[in-house]
Amino acid sequence: MTDVLTGQAAVDQLLEVLDLAPTGATTFRGISPPVGPQRVYGGQVAGQALVAAGRTVDPERFVHSLHGYFVRPGDPSEPIDYAVENIRDGRSFSVRRSVAYQHGKPIFFMSASFQHREEGLDHQAPNPPDVPGPEGVPTMTDRLARYPERLGIWAMIPRPIDVRYVGEPGWVRPGDRPADPHQRVWMRIDGKLPDDPLLHACALTYASDLTLLDSVLSVHGEVWGPGGVVGASLDHALWFHRPFRADEWFLYDCWSPSASGGRGLATGRMFTTDGGHIASAVQEGLLRRVEG
């Protein structure tokens, strides 16, 4: 546990992962962290694909939505090549298609739309009531200490995100998680990010894949791993509503409207500490039971 990269050191490594190397006018190459899971984390490839798309757009236009599909597992030991197609540059919007390749085959593709800031109608649904703040719930270190046998990949990978679950996480022991219609987590990048809005959007994209599918299991009191469920992200969509900083606390309020046919649908809303609705996410995942 003490050797795991955390805090600003882990954030600096994340910034290196998101800092793609240009290989052409609209092509880029990315790497994965030196220590990681057997397949590339979905939030990483989505965040990198958004970096690639954003670097081909007027910096005065800000990303407001993205829609992506995970089509093959990524190999973290190999670089990932990104190719960006300019779909349209209009008076107010720019649309890009960003495709991630390994070994000459696509592993992920995304459409992203960017817009000039505009004034207009402004409203939001109420934020969740009676949720304790981030300082009032256990830290990830406190949570992990209770389940040393369930550490798995958490014991090895860098942790650039401070994650604090309001309820029980999806990786506790089978039987230790009561059914709950919501999965609520406080998050923030665990260090300081530069002021670039695109970078904050990419960091939020990275974070948005981390706990979203937990909400499907939460409905049933199920857990990840032995005695529970294994899964993989199939697609991911994200809408950015208001300006934010990913290195400041936001509440990720997730729930699952449906699960069937070995798939589960999860949706989530992100709120700042003062209640501003900054983003919404939707994801479908493949979920299969495993033996204990």
Tell me the longest C-alpha to C-alpha distance in the chain.
Answer: 56
Respond yes or no: is residue 283 known to be catalytic: yes
d(CA 51, CA 12): 16
Q: Give the count of beta carbons closer than 10 Å to the beta carbon of residue 121.
A: 4
CB-CB contact of 65 with 238 (8 Å): yes
- The catalytically annotated residue of 32, 94, 218, 283 is 283
Q: Considering Cα of 238, then 10, then 133, then 145, what sign does the dihedral take?
A: positive
Respond yes or no: is residue 81 known to be catalytic: no
- The catalytically annotated residue of 98, 233, 256, 280 is 233
CB-CB contact of 211 with 185 (8 Å): yes
Q: Where are the beta strands (DSSP E) in the chain?
A: 21-22, 27-30, 61-70, 80-89, 93-102, 105-116, 161-165, 182-189, 229-233, 235-240, 250-260, 263-272, 277-289
Beta bridge partners of 233: 285
- State the residue for tokens 């950015």: 240
Respond yes or no: is residue 258 known to be catalytic: no
- The catalytically annotated residue of 162, 190, 209, 214 is 209
∠ CA 115-282-196, rounded to 5°: 40
Radius of gyration, alpha carbons of the chain:
18
Distances (CA, A) of 228 to 73, 204, 205, 290: 21, 28, 27, 6
Active site positions, annotated: 209, 233, 283
